[in-house]
Structure 1
Amino acid sequence: MFPYTRAAIFLPFLVTLTACATFTSNETDKAPYYESSFNDRNRAPASFAPQSVASGPDNTTTIDPLYMRTQADYYFAMGEAYSLEGNSAKALEAFKNTLIYDQESPAVHMRLAAEYLKQGLLSESLTQGEEAAKKDPKNVDAHLLLGGLYSSMKLYPKAMDQYNTVMKLEPKNTEAPLYIGALYSEQKQPDKAVKYFESLAKNPDYTTPHLAWYYIGRVRMEQPEAKYQKGAEEAFKKSLSIKPEFVDSLLSLGAMYTKDKKEEKALAMYREYQKENTPNSRVAEILAQTYIEQGDYEKAYDQLEIIERDSDEPLNVRMKMALILIDQKRFDQAAEKLQEVLKEAPDSDKVRFYLAAVYEETHKNELAVREYKKVPASSTYYGEAVVHTAYILKGMGKLDEAVQTAAEGLKNRQDQPQIYAMYASLLDEKSDYKTASAVLEQGLVKFPENAQLRFYYGTIQDRLGNKSLVVSEMKKVLEIDPNHVQGMNYLAFTWAEMGTQLPEAEKLARKASELEPQDGYVLDTLGWVLYKQSKYSEAVKVLEAAHKYQGTVSVIAEHLGDAYYKQSMVDKAKNMYRKAADLETDKRKVQEIRNKITAIEKQELSSPRMPASVEKPTDKPIAEHAQ
């Protein structure tokens, strides 16, 4: 279907109908006046009554024609003014008042029809259009209006009659053939439709032949046969040859190429259009989306700038631009763009959240916290805003404030699992394990299938020394999510520490390392499980890889030192222990590590050093430890 067959197409020319309201088909300007028509309960004072005159051989009383004309013109002008302001209700009232003083004016009925059409009142518009045609049968605009209204109501024979009437009244009229072609297209008679459009295209009096070729292309485009598709392509090209900047033909031709999997041809055409003509926002939308999908954000941004300039509602466009700037790590520009959007949409929680995220990324922590805290509890971004706020505050050394933020967030929203997790992790930081456990238990009542909450609950049970509960919870985690790397890793390490289920622990640790081959903690667990099974040579290789990826983690360095010692690589073991001690912040743990170094040095003093090839390792590492 074509947009030009709908009632809306008639609105532009209806709005331009500004004929004088006093134009009528009567031969005289005088209208008969009957005193009874003014006989109401609130009659105006006699001094304000319209001046009457006596005329005719029977001394008939009539209203002064100058007064009638003046009043009609006044109300018509008011109707026009209201219409231009977009106030259809008052425009309708004014035009109805015009009819009181000029009952025979087709122009007034046409203006009423136009205003009713603006409001979507088709039947009322139709009534006024019919009245206009009745009072002035030669009014071409009235017949065109009726044709459009009948067409929109799918009364095609009546619409066709109106357009044929126009053709009889004005044989050279170029609008009627256009609408007749559209009617045939609506009725799935493409050949007849094309016939009328071709007549227009070849008509020297038709000033916009590019439109006729465009319509031919649209008709043929809907016919799947190859010859018609070829005809559609040729029609669009003819349209563009006549008017190269006509974007509708360009987009239709591009749509054909895209449908035929000739995307590059379509894109090349779009790019050429933007280069040779004033850039068009509709073309820019297609190019921008294509560039975004291709990951070419710089080119996408250029097209979005075009859309932003032409858009009546640029907020969504600016948001896309901001996201591209974020992706390109142009954070200062992204913040400026988001601030622009916030000025026009201060209640947009989405925009505020992203602005806060940009501030967080650029370490403007105070600003980030300020914006995160403005995200309302009703927002879908609230849970994440609470988590980020608490995380930033913790990083700023404001742990108590972070705990308070999470507690308040949980009070406002109990349907956000991430808030339970963050609150519990902060309580863990404060060594308040029992409260953390209670918070997670509360969360698991609401979200029993949330793997991450259950994982955190298992880790807290480890803090409380409930190893059996740790194992059972981690198993539940893996039942919910078989590829939960953290769950695999934690369960494998727990079994290694307990010295049980070591073959199963190795399977889990290997699977976790396959999923996360560059995670030093995961590799450390695998190395430690191998160590616990006395597979020291393999353990050294895995733990060296773990230390490579996480070179600043004390426990990994300590594990590697233990493995070196078991392989009689004593100097390497002492060096790794020293590094582990330097990295450790827990004084008690530092002393444990230094005790290992002391034990090795005592052994070296009490017995001569044997070559590594003949030295037998002991069964246990020096000062065996737990992670």
Structure 2
Amino acid sequence: MMDTIAINQANPAFLRRLVAPILLVASASLAPLAQAQTSAPSAPPASTTAAPSNRQVPDRAAAYYHYSLAHDYEDMATSYGRSEYATRAVEEYKLALNADPTSQFLNNGLAELYFKTGKVKEAIVAAQDLLKKDPNNLDAHKLLGRIYLRSLGDGQNSGPSGQVLQLAIAEYTKIVSLEPNSIEDRLLLGQLYSVNHESGKAEEQFKAAQQIDPSSEEVVLNLARLYSEQGDIEHAIQVLSAIPEDDQTPRTEFALGGAYDQNKEPKKAIAAYRRAVDLDPSNVDAERSLAQALLNDNDLNDALATYESIAAADPQDANAYLRIAEIQRRQGNYDESLASIKKAKSLSQEPLQLSEISFNEALADEALGKHDEAATILQKLVDQSEHSTGQYSDPEKNARAFFLDRLAVLYREQNKPLQAADTYHKMLDLGGDFTVQGYQGEVDSYREAKQYAKATEVAREAAAKLPKDRQIQLMLAGQLADTGKPDEGIALAKSLLTNPPAAPDAPAASQDREVYLALANIYTRLHRWNEAGAELDRAEPLSTKQDDRVYIAFLRGALAERQKHYDEAEAQFRKVLAIDPGNSMTLNYLGYMQADRGVKLDEALSMIQQAVKAEPQNYAYLDSLGWAYFKLGQYQLSEDNLRRASERNASDPTVHDHLGDLYEKTGRLKLAVAQWEQSVSEYDKTSPGDNDGIDIGKVHKKLENAWVKLAKEDASSSTATKQ
């Protein structure tokens, strides 16, 4: 005792806390203690240190005394972080147990203390000893459960067998049986089952918790999370939506918005995020998610206002300025975008975010026509993302593939298809879908360079390396059909069908849709119109999503246009625009079709302008715009846009043909001849599937007439000179 008092003389508060409980326990124990002394007068007085281990009658006063010391040492160890206090606490617990060895309370306390002071093995042994004496000791089971949970959280799982996870599940299964009405215990057990990929058992626990308290926010969130992890987003939405409107909380609304996001329902996601923000205006995560959902839905003005609000509340938020820059770029405010990028760059310290900032800077430079600057930035990002080991984490793969793809697209826009092909080739080592994307981009680039043999070579290599990948096999099928081997290409495509047309009564598999569409494209390029239409007929019943149905209508419109069935084509294109008014591909196709025929020119111009606004660097859209202006007699605007299209793609024969017509119309016949000659040259190098014999014939006719006219002009000029 003298040692104990000496140690704590410097801490009078400690002594005051110690004396009070001792006095209480002394007065409470006075009568039984007197009785014990009367019945056994020869017994020595109670010891204040350690009772003999074989003592039959518990000395609860001594036990409480040592427990109080242990409790205070434990508090001091926690407050001051000194290990010697923790050691003294353990010693006092042991002395208390010497005085009252059967006390479940003291045994539980010592086991807890071991756990709190990091002596996990001792805690486990102590808890297991308790369970040997009482298998239903709830506190011991909870202690073991917490120990195993901490081990899981610290990444201390014992290996592939998941032994610690199984131990945790076993403990919480027992805890739930002993305490069946505890929502917290059932949620923990459900989460453990979820980690162990036992979704059915997890759902069972969550639903049991829901029966205990149907209005529990935690229960609903756990159920929704479980369904989302299973990919059953509709079920997650159903669970979250079932909460009465008055009982919805910021967290449930936020989770509902996330579920709608996953389900590609941006407008519903926006509504849920707005409700979450309204319920808790300080919920920055909900506001950020709302801003991103607005951006995803192309609601640029509201997205910009929301991100500006976030930036005003937190001027150090680099991501807010990055998104503001992205929106400004998409709105065409490139200088403002670059200023916001500069602000974001000054705030960010994260390497991945800095890479994204630089990427957006490259896009802004590209939009301003600074192609070399954009290429330099993208090349730097590509170089920085490369690992000499060839080993990449999933986020690193995503980032590298993104940079490579954009650099390749930029090279294609700069009319550098071979550099684009080399860039796509670097994606092959990333594996998975990135390899598929790399092969597809490489083949497309060689096609743009009119190197069809090389494109076929790469397609064959890809098909050999990825024999089970349908996209790659269909790519090769299309390439074969385009390069003089249509039967081989068609046979390859049909071999990928799970339910071929030979078995018409068999229900078509959803994956066959991709094959039918590929066959429709092959037949269209081969001018086998009826067979192309039949393949679209087979694909349509499998097109269950709205986007899929829109694409079928677009392909039917294109097929009709290729056959010069213009009314039918227009009907199909308008069907697309009724569902998706901003579909730039359809706006351009229908607008160009009308402009080329010289009908509904004002509407045609408006449609093409919308397409160009959506994709200002698309050379085909620029060509359509130039051609519409030509038909309207606005020749300067026509020339501006046709020249921009030619700069973007110098190998498209149609662009050169249009420029030739413009130069002839504006009295520059020699320039017109040069463009028509270039058009014929490009037609000669183009795959038959990419050109139309009628169009080529028209260009030849223009050239012949121009040569005759130039010859006459030269002859007249020579005669005048002689005279």
TM-score by length of structure 1 reads: 0.53
Residue 571, structure 1, aligned to residue 456, structure 2: yes
Structure 1, unmatched stretches of 5+, are 2-149, 182-191, 610-627
Relative contact order (C-alpha < 8 Å, sep 6+): which is higher? 1
Which is worse superposed, 312-321 or 221-230? 221-230
Change in 2 beyond 3 A, CA 1:253/1:411: closer
Partner AA of 1:550 in structure 2: F
The reply to whether residue 154 of structure 1 matches residue 20 of structure 2 is yes
**Correspondence for 1:558 among 441, 465, 478:** 441
Aligned to 1:280: 137
* Alpha-carbon distance, 1:239 to partner: 8.2
User: After superposition, where does 1:104-115 map in structure 2 within 5 Å?
Assistant: none
1:459 touches 1:470 (CA, 8 Å); kept in 2? Answer: yes
Q: Aligned partner of 2:324: which letter?
A: Y
Higher helix share: 2
Q: Tell me by how many angstroms 1:520 deviates.
A: 3.7
Note the alpha carbon deviations across 1:8-49, whole angstroms, 9 max, x for none: xxxxxxxxxxxxxxxxxxxxxxxxxxxxxxxxxxxxxxxxxx
Match of 1:539 among 423, 428, 453: 423
| Identity level (%) | 12
Return the match for 2:401 from 523, 527, 545.
523
Matched letter for residue 288 of structure 1: G
In 2 relative to 1, CA 239–525 (structure 1 residues): closer, same or farther, beyond 3 Å? Answer: same
- Of residues 216, 223, 228, the one that matches 1:360 is 228
The amino acid of 1:490's aligned partner reads N
Number of the residue aligned with 2:305: 438
Q: CA RMSD in A?
A: 5.6
Rounded to whole Å, the distance in 2 between the matches of 1:152 and 1:274 is 32
Q: Name the CA shift for 1:162/1:408 in 2 (closer, same or farther; >3 Å).
A: closer
2:585 corresponds to which letter in structure 1?
A: R
| 1:403-552 superposed matches below 5 A | 403-428=270-295, 430-483=297-350, 484=353, 485-495=355-365, 498-499=370-371, 500=373, 502-511=375-384, 518-520=396-398, 522-526=400-404, 528-529=406-407, 532=411, 539-545=423-429, 548-550=432-434
Task: Say whether the 8 Å CA contact 2:254–2:276 is kept in structure 1.
Answer: no
Change in CA separation of 1:490 and 1:566 when aligned onto 2, cut-off 3 Å: farther
For 2:320 and 2:401, locate their aligned partners in 1 and report how far apart those are by CA, in whole Å: 24
- Residue type at the aligned position of 1:571: T
Determine helix, strand or coil for the equivalent of 1:550. helix
Q: How many residues align?
A: 436
1:342 aligned partner:
210
Distance 2:430 2:86 in 1: 63
Distance 2:680 2:226 in 1: 55
Write out per-residue CA displacement over residues 437-477 of structure 1, whole angstroms, 9 at most, x where no aligned residue.
33433443334443444333333223222233333333433
Q: Give, in angstroms, the shift of residue 504 of structure 1.
A: 4.2
| Aligned 1:275-354 pairs, distance under 5 A | 277-295=134-152, 296-311=164-179, 314-354=182-222
Moved more, 505-514 or 352-361: 505-514
Distance 2:365 2:262 in 1: 34
State the Cα distance separating 1:193 from its structure 2 match.
0.9
- CA 1:434–1:321 in 2, change beyond 3 Å: closer, same or farther? same
Q: CA separation of 1:541/1:482 partners in 2, compared to 1, >3 Å: closer, same or farther?
A: farther
Structure 2 CA distance for aligned equivalents of residues 491 and 347 of structure 1: 48
Q: Please report how far the alpha carbon of residue 486 of structure 1 lies from its aligned counterpart in structure 2 after TM superposition.
A: 3.7
**1:193 corresponds to which residue?**
48
Report what 2:511 is aligned to: none
Structure 1 residues 304 and 167 mapped into 2: Cα distance closer, same or farther (>3 Å)? closer
1:168-207 mapped onto 2 (5 Å cutoff): 171-172=37-38, 193-194=48-49, 197-198=51-52, 206-207=56-57
The 2-side partners of 1:400 and 1:370 are apart by 17
Counterpart among 254, 257, 267 of residue 387 in structure 1: 257
Specify whether residues 423 and 234 from structure 1 end up closer, same or farther in structure 2 by C-alpha distance, changes over 3 A only.
Answer: closer
Aligned counterparts of 2:117 and 2:286: Cα–Cα separation in 1: 50
Q: What amino acid does structure 1 have at the position aligned with 2:357?
A: G
Q: Which residue of 2 aligns with 1:588?
A: 585
Describe the shift of the 1:446–1:173 C-alpha distance in structure 2 as closer, same or farther (beyond 3 A).
farther
Give distance in 2, aligned partners of 1:603 and 1:284: 83
Structure 1 residue 299: Cα displacement: 1.3
**What is the CA distance between 1:324 and its match in structure 2?**
1.5
For 1:187-266, list aligned pairs within 5 A: 193-194=48-49, 197-198=51-52, 206-208=56-58, 247-248=104-105, 250-251=107-108, 254=111, 263-266=120-123
Q: Is the 8 A contact 1:254 1:269 kept in 2?
A: yes
Residue 194 of structure 1 aligns to a residue in which SS? coil
Per the alignment, in what secondary structure is the counterpart of residue 193 of structure 1? Answer: coil
Matching residue's letter, 1:330: E
1:280-337, Cα deviation, whole Å (9 max, x unpaired): 2222222112211222322112112233334497222222112222222333332332
Mapped to 1, the partners of 2:269 and 2:300 lie a distance apart of 17
Residue 379 of structure 2 aligns to which amino acid in structure 1? Answer: E
Distance 1:415 1:263 in 2: 40
> Residues 299, 151 of structure 1: CA spacing in aligned structure 2 closer, same or farther, 3 A cutoff?
closer
The answer to whether the Cα contact below 8 Å between 1:520 and 1:545 also exists between their aligned partners in 2 is no
Q: Deviations over 1:470-526 (max 9, x none)?
A: 333334333333321543443345446642254444334544667866434542414
Partner Cα distance (1:353, 1:173) in 2: 63
Q: Which amino acid aligns with 1:543?
A: M
Larger CA deviation: 430-439 vs 295-304: 430-439
**When the two structures are superposed, what TM-score results if normalisation uses the length of structure 2?**
0.47
